[in-house]
Structure 1
């Protein structure tokens, strides 16, 4: 993830993309802050999973800000927040489509050796671990439940 973000920033600088550069620098600053906090606590630098969490949190914050700007009748600021959401979301793993989600659920049910609804939690934990931020866990839950009935 770090490399992907660094490459995106380098490409934005080369293209002189004045919208992407500040957002990508903000992302890198957030990661550096988290690295610094981890180092001060005696831990390793943040993992790709933690970087994903940072990005997801940034998207959520911007969605809330955009909503508040719209309620305050400030459409230009809301549009700026939405552009940042697009930039940040572009760095996150692409969500799985319905067919890919069904196949992933089948694979996990098979790997876990699930045979009944009692195994539902193990299946969902495995999906959450294998496909973080890539699937709607509500839909996946319904698919797994149908498979186990």
Structure 2
């Protein structure tokens, strides 16, 4: 479903003459195709939207890291290009949970699995990823989990 939406957006961007958007969308399609090739040898069936969402999350994380590095290096024009690509990628991702929702999810998982100390952090993170994977920013979440278990 997400894959078809991206394809429709590519066509719309091409018809509209938006070269930057077309390039960003084609980049997304290329990454998805790379993942498809990787999964040809994998066993088992995986939901197509899960695959696409996973690819998009990784792409978004890479863009965020690149933006920070370009800004540190004084390369504002490259940072702006990455920000544009990130905005296109985020259009297709599920809405991310805010801090309050994330902390509530952490508390719920803590209670469900009986986590009380920092030794349980791996279990809590794994359960959070299972329940809310695509809607959580796992980088920020890990700090909050550590804080909740301290």
Fold shared, TM-score > 0.5 on shorter chain: yes
The structure whose Rg is larger is 1
Map residues 125-140 of structure 1 onto 2, 5 A cutoff.
125-133=126-134, 134-135=136-137, 136-140=140-144
Secondary structure of the corresponding residue to residue 96 of structure 2: coil
Under a length normalisation based on structure 1, what TM-score does the superposition of the two structures give? 0.69
- Matched residue, 1:88: 89
CA shift digits 1:69-115 (9 cap, x unpaired): 873x6543432222112211332233211221122123223333x15
Q: Which shifted more, 48-57 or 23-32?
A: 48-57
More helix by share: 2
Distance 1:145 1:3, change over 3 A: farther
Partner Cα distance (1:52, 1:77) in 2: 25
CA separation in 1, counterparts of 2:16 and 2:123? 46
Q: What is the CA deviation profile of residues 4-58 of structure 1, one whole-angstrom value per residue up to 9, with x for unaligned ones?
A: 433443543454433212211111122112212322x254577444433322333
Deviation at 1:65, TM superposition (A): 4.9
Q: For 1:54 and 1:109, how far apart are their aligned partners in 2?
A: 28
**Gap regions ≥5 residues in structure 1:** none
8 Å contact kept, 1:102–1:140: yes
Q: How does 1:1-149 map to 2 (within 5 A)?
A: 1-13=2-14, 15-39=16-40, 41=41, 43=43, 44=45, 47-63=48-64, 65-66=66-67, 67-68=69-70, 71=73, 75-112=76-113, 114=114, 116-117=116-117, 119-133=120-134, 134-135=136-137, 136-142=140-146, 144-145=148-149
For the structure 1 residues 37 and 98, does the alpha-carbon distance in structure 2 shift closer, same or farther, using more than 3 Å as the test? Answer: closer
Q: Tell me the distance in 2 between the aligned counterparts of 1:115 and 1:46.
A: 30
Alignment length (residue pairs): 143
| SS of residue matched to 1:93 | coil
Contact in 1 for aligned 2:70/2:78 (Cα 8 Å):
no
The unaligned stretches of length 5 or more in structure 2 are none
Q: Distance in 2 between matches of 1:103 and 1:62?
A: 28
